[in-house]
Each structure stands twice: as structure tokens, then as C-alpha cells.
Amino acid sequence: MRSFIAVVTSALALLSVVDASVLSKRQTNVVPEHGTTLQPANGTVVAPGQSFPFSYQLMNYCFITYVPVEVYLSTSPPTAADVSRAGLVDGSYIYSFGGFEAPANGLPPLPPSGPQPPPSSFTMPTLDVPADTTLYLTVVETDDCPWHQGYTGFETTTVVYG
């Protein structure tokens, strides 16, 4: 009887590992659908230390209430290979503005102690790039669907480092 219990326990442990790996792969679906950066306009020139407007319209693929978004600057346009469920992978960007929870479907922002929506403006950091460099402002939107299928989309707008 003890050997039967050991076999069943081992089998269940193995299945949970296999299931977790399958689930992990299922939850990293980079899809072509994505929201839209409304501000800044494509090609906007922004000087270091200058504030610039930011507005992003969610895709909200799964019609969830609060959608995680991450905002980055990079020197080359990100590809799907640069995207993970946590945002852009290290080495594919030069600056992160951070992660936010954007309210969807007309909901208000979360309480001040909770995750906050993206601000209405960002400040261009001082970067180690020449003036007039085209930078890629990328928003990564991750929708955690109720049926445990996650979708990650990303949208890129250019800004010129002035």
C-alpha cells in the first residue's frame, strides 16, 4: 500500500509540474492586437527633463477590469521576441517608466494604496544617447483572461530625443 501511495504521489507531483509548464507557455501569448498610444504623437521631439503628455487607449482583449501596462523607451523597435508577460525583457530597452494598472470599462482608479493608472505625462530622462536619436516609446499591455489564457500585446510610438 505504501508503494501505491508513493507512486500516486509521484505521479501527481509530475503532473503538477507538467501542467505548470503548459500553463506558463499558454500565458505568454504575444498577440498582434494592442491598444493605441494617443499621446505623444509619433515623432514628437522631447528634451531631457521635459515633461510630455501620455495617453494610451487600452485594447482590453479580455474585457477585464484593470489592465497591467508597462511603458518603456528603447533605441530600436521591440519585436515579439522582446516581450514577456512581465513586459520587455532586460536588454531590449534603455529606460522603464514603470508598471501601472489601467482601469477599463469606465471604472475608477484603484485606491491610492493600490497599483496606479499610467500618469497623464512622463518626464524624459537624461539618457546616454545623442541628440536627435529616434527612441521607441513602447507600451506592453497584458490581459489576464478569466479562462486562464493571458494575452500580451505591445504598441510602439517614436519620440525624438532632443
Instruction: Check: CB of residue 69 under 8 Å from CB of residue 86.
Output: no
What the block records as the C-alpha cell of 5 is: 501511495
What the block records as the C-alpha cell of 127 is: 539618457
Burial 86-118 (b: 16+ CB within 10 A, else e): ebbeeebbbeebebbbbebeeeeeeeeeeebbb
Which tens digit of pLDDT belongs to each residue from 74-92?
A: 999 999 999 988 899 999 9
Which pTM does this prediction carry?
Answer: 0.80
Task: Name the most confidently modeled range: 13-27, 37-51, 144-158.
Answer: 37-51
**What proportion of the chain, given as a percentage, has pLDDT over 70?**
81
- Fold (topology level) of 31-161: Immunoglobulin-like (2.60.40)
How confident is residue 2, by pLDDT bands cut at 50, 70 and 90? low
Domain range annotation of the chain: 31-161
Instruction: Find how far residue 82's CA is from the centre of its chain.
Output: 11
Cα–Cα distance for residue pair 18/101, rounded to 1 Å: 31
